[in-house]
Structures are given as C-alpha cells and as structure tokens.
Amino acid sequence: MAAALAAPFALNGAVKMANSTTSQAYLDGSRVKESKTLIADLCRQFYTLGWVSGTGGSITTKVHDDSIPKPEQLIVMSPSGVQKERMVEDDMYVLSPSGSILSAPLPKPYPHKAPKCTDCAPLFLKAYHMRNAGAVIHSHGIESCLVTMINPFSKEFRITHMEMIKGIQGHGYYDELVVPIIENTAQESELTESLAEAIKAYPKTTAVLVRNHGIYVWGDNWISAKTQAECYHYLFDAAIKLHQLGMDWSTPTHGPIQSANGVLGNVRDAYRPTKATKIASENGTEPLKRCIVLDIEGTTTPISFVTDVLFPYARESVGKHLAATYETAETQDDIKLLRAQVQEDLANGVAGALPIPPEEAGKQDVIAAVVTNVEAMIKADRKITALKELQGHIWRTGFQNNELQSVVFEDVPEALERWHALGIKVTFPCLIVCNVKPVEMFQVDCQKYLEIFV
Ligand SMILES: CSCCC(=O)C(=O)COP(=O)(O)O
Ligand SMILES: [Zn+2]
C-alpha cells in the first residue's frame, strides 16, 4: 500500500488541483493505479534494452485522463536508487501538476533504502511545464552516452536522411534532426537549469542529451515518449556504427569522412588526441580546442574564380582605383613600391617597363605610367609584391562595392557550420597568393564562422 502524504494540496482527504478537486479515492483509483503499473512494466522492458540498468534512468507519466486537462493531470514518478526492473505499482510516487508529492511508497525493510522520489523529478517537471509533455523517459542507454563522446566539444547531435527520423515528432526523412547536448554534473538535479535552457533554445526538440550520461525524451503521452525514445536510440546507434565505419553520419549521403586533402577535412583527425590534449584531460582541465587552416584557391574557391574573375577585374580597374584613391596613404605607398620595382626592372632591361614620373609631374601622368606598367606586369604574370599589394587593394574595394561576389564550393558553408558547432576554429595561412583578406572571399553568411585574418 502506498502512503498518502499531507501535501499542501490535501484538503480533508481531497486533493485540490488547479481547476478541480480530486478525492483521495481518485488518488487510490484505477487511473492512478494503471499509470503506476505502466511505469513498472515499461521499466522492466527498458531494462532489457540497457536503458535503466544499475538503478540508472527513470520514467514518469501523467495520469492520462480525458476528463482532466493535461496541465491539471496528476503525475506518477518512479523512486530513486532502486532496481528499476523490479519495481511494482506500490513503489511509485504521485505528484500534483506543480510537483508536490501527494502520495509516497511505504518504507521497506533492510536492505532496501528509505524511499525517495527520483532525482530526475525537477528535470521531468521542466518537460511537463515547458512542453506540456504527457510522459518523460530518462535513459542511460549506452548509445545515448557514446554519441555525445565522439566529438567531445559538440553542443548538438545532428543527423539527416534516415527513415527513423520520421518517428521523431515534427520531423520527416529529409529533415535534419538536431538534439542539443548539455554537460553532465555531479548530481542529477544540477542538470535542471541547463536542461531548461536547452528546451528553450531548441523549440523543436523532444529530447536533450546529457554528455557521458544519457538522454531525456518526452512526448504528448507515454506511447509517443516511448516511440521517440526508441527512434533516438536507433539513430544514435546508427551514428556510432557509421562513425566506426569511417562514414559521416551527419551528411545526406553518409559517405566516407573526407580525407585531410578533401574540402571537408577529416573531423575524426581533428579529434585524434594529441599529447597536449591527453595531458590536459588527464589533469582534469578542458582539452585543447583544434584549429583548421584552410587554403582558398582550389580548396574553398575554384581556381577559375581567381584567373577568370579576380585578375581581369584588377586589370580593368587599375586606372579607376588609382584615380579614386590617389590621395590616400595606402595608394601612395602602392605607387612608391611600384616606382621602385620599375626602376629595378629598367636597370635589368625588363620588357614593358616604363619610368613612372615623380609626384610633381601630376596625378594624371603618374597614374597613366602606373597603369601601363601594371598592365605589362599582369600580362607577364609577374609574382611581385608591388603588384600583389595593389591588386589586393583593388579586390578589397571590389568586394566592398559588391562589384565582386565571392564564390565558394557548395559544401564549404556546411563544413564551416559543422566545424563551428564542434568548436573548431577555421583560419587561413598568413600569405595568400592573391593578397585578399580571406574573410572577403566568403559570402557574408559564411564570414561569421571564420577567424578574422589580420
Ligand atoms: C547509477 S544511476 C545515477 C543516478 C542517475 O543518473 C539516474 O538517472 C537515476 O536517478 P534516480 O534518482 O531515478 O535513481
Ligand atoms: Zn541519469
């Protein structure tokens, strides 16, 4: 027999709920009984799946009763620290919709511990209150644990193009399923605030993963929570197996994880522990984060963009750029560099070199001579600093004026987003052949993922 508690809601043997008064008889009645038995049955079943072994994991359901609006239905929860597969109806707690304990199990003799409501109670209440859930399952299934460990910095689990995604509320086969990951804490109840934050930040989610621990899954009722929990575990298992096969679970094709030479790089390699990472984690400090150094020409951007767009643009814009910026210190420096280069070229008899007159000759004459020299240098495909500097400045203006539109391969934004989600920084080598700041070579929506080049 369960023991009824004197809770703030108990009124002369009646339990006052938000809009209705329920008698003690209701608390002891068949609907509550069915929910208690259901939790015991489900726990036995989930034990065989490894979701609630070693007393871990927990289940809660509302007392489904069509005559009572869901926010006012009573809640049944399992006890804490017990062998979940051996629980019976009388082991369960009954709570009011706001979370007050209305009835608790009777103590059992040694070696049983004194009864206590599940430590997951505050977390379950968040799902009830923030999502109007009808049932919540907390699983310690190893798949839900391992999937958070593959990429230890990831804040989300993402997967797409898997049939079982259809079993998750509001999702279709082609949708990307995103499950937030929160960090584990010493005590279950300490997870409450980060779980609430994740629920708020991911309005579409019906689950939250807890790193190195498990998952919380909720649904409109116990059937929905159970179905979704099964689908989530299936998808985590699939992701782990794909990862073991060297395949990328997060892309639509689930193809091989690209080699370090590929555009996407090798995310597994990005997490292969280095000595420094190992030492840091052994010391209990946060492991070092990794950085990917990207090339642009031929890696993120077609080489043809440089040859067919950037170089012609620079050639055609020299005169206009010099005329518009002639008085600036930057352009004066560019002209100074070019004048010195031309003097050297003249001394060496380089074809096409023509003297650039001194500043006193006037803006027009200086610009005309610079344009002639620059055209000859571009025609000869000279790789000289003076030319690269001027070209870089012309391209920068072109990107700023939107006369130049950046081009990146179609899988680059996806890779940048994924690396960003994994906490991996993306940067570029200091010397870029075309002397454009890398950030300018990317569409605005990609720029946020880049470390700004300085
Ligand atoms: C070995 S289980 C540790 C506690 C835990 O994570 C859990 O889910 C069980 O909580 P409960 O209080 O329901 O036993
Ligand atoms: Zn747990």
Q: What is the DSSP string of 156-203?
A: EEEEES-GGGGGSTT--TTSEEEEEEE---SSGGGGHHHHHHHHHH-T
CA 62 centroid distance within chain:
32
* pLDDT score at 402: 82
Provide mean pLDDT across the span 312-335. 94
- Residue 192, token pair as written in the block: 């409450």
**pLDDT in the model for residue 438:** 55
Helix/strand/coil for 7: coil
Alpha-carbon 10 to chain mean position: 45
* Per-residue pLDDT tens over the stretch 11-21: 333 444 444 45
Q: What is the mean pLDDT of residues 209-219?
A: 98
pLDDT band at 419 (very low <50, low <70, confident <90, very high): confident
CA of 280 relative to ligand 2 center, distance in Å: 27
Closest CA to 356 of 380, 390, 383, 314: 390
Distance 58 CA to ligand 2 centre (A): 7
Contact yes or no for 230/167 (Cβ under 8 A): yes
Average pLDDT of the segment spanning 280-289: 43
27: pLDDT strictly greater than 50? yes
The full DSSP string for 360-407 is GG-HHHHHHHHHHHHHHHHHTT---HHHHHHHHHHHHHHHHTTSS---
* pLDDT band, residue 129 (cuts 50/70/90): very high
> For residues 132 and 138, what is the distance between their CA atoms, to the nearest angstrom?
17
Of all residues in the chain, the percent with pLDDT exceeding 70 is: 81
Mean pLDDT check: name the lowest of 65-79, 351-365, 404-418: 404-418
Q: Could you report the per-residue pLDDT of 36-69, keeping only the tens digit for each?
A: 999 999 999 999 999 999 999 999 999 999 999 9
pLDDT at 123: 98
**Is 268 a residue whose pLDDT tops 70?**
no
Lowest-pLDDT choice from 85-99, 108-122, 362-376, 406-420: 406-420
Is pLDDT above 80 for 274? Answer: no
Catalytic-residue membership of 163: yes
Phi then psi for residue 313, to 5 deg, are -60, -45
Question: Count of CB atoms within 10 A of residue 360's CB?
Answer: 7
22: pLDDT strictly greater than 60: yes
On average, the pLDDT of the chain sits at 85
Query: Which residue among 46, 51, 52, 55 is best mutated to probe the pocket of ligand 1, counting the most ligand atoms within 8 A of its Cβ?
Result: 55
Q: Which helix (H) or strand (E) holds 30?
A: helix 30-48
Q: How far is CA 289 from the centre of its chain?
A: 15
Could you give the count of Cα atoms lying within 13 Å of 256 in the half-sphere of its Cβ?
A: 5
Q: Hey, is 287 helix, strand or coil?
A: coil
Higher per-residue confidence, 308 vs 109: 109
pLDDT band at 166 (very low <50, low <70, confident <90, very high): very high
pLDDT band at 363 (very low <50, low <70, confident <90, very high): very high
430 among annotated binding-site residues: no
Q: Are 306 and 295 in contact (CB under 8 A)?
A: no
Q: What is the pLDDT of residues 60-116, one digit of tens each?
A: 999 999 999 999 999 999 999 999 999 999 999 999 999 999 999 999 999 999 999
Query: Euclidean distance between the first and final Cα of the chain, in Å?
Result: 72
In this prediction, residue 81 carries a pLDDT of 97
Starting from the CA of residue 59, give the closest ligand.
1
Q: Is 138 annotated as a binding residue?
A: yes
Measured from the alpha carbon of residue 57, the closest ligand is: 1
Q: What are phi and psi of 58, to 5 degrees?
A: -170, 160
Instruction: For residues 82 and 411, give the distance between their C-alpha atoms in angstroms, rounded to a whole number.
Output: 49
362: left (phi > 0), else alpha (psi -120 to 50), else beta? left
Q: ipTM value of the model?
A: 0.99
In the set 143, 156, 163, 193, the catalytic residue is 163
Within 8 A by CB and 6+ apart from 190, the residues are: none
**Residue 427 bridge partners (DSSP):** 293
pTM for the predicted model, two decimal places: 0.60
pLDDT at site 332: 95
Taking 90 as the threshold, does the pLDDT of residue 290 lie above it? Answer: no
Q: In terms of C-beta density within 10 A (0-12 exposed, 13-18 middle, 19 or more buried), how is residue 425 classed?
A: middle
Residues near ligand 1 (Cβ within 6 A): 54-58, 80-81, 118-120, 138, 188
Which pLDDT score, from 0 to 100, does residue 112 have?
A: 96
CA distance 446 to 419: 12
Nearest of 306, 258, 287, 237 to residue 414 by alpha carbon: 258
More confident site: 205 or 263: 205
Statement: residue 213 has pLDDT above 70: yes
How many A from CA of 223 to the centre of ligand 1? 22
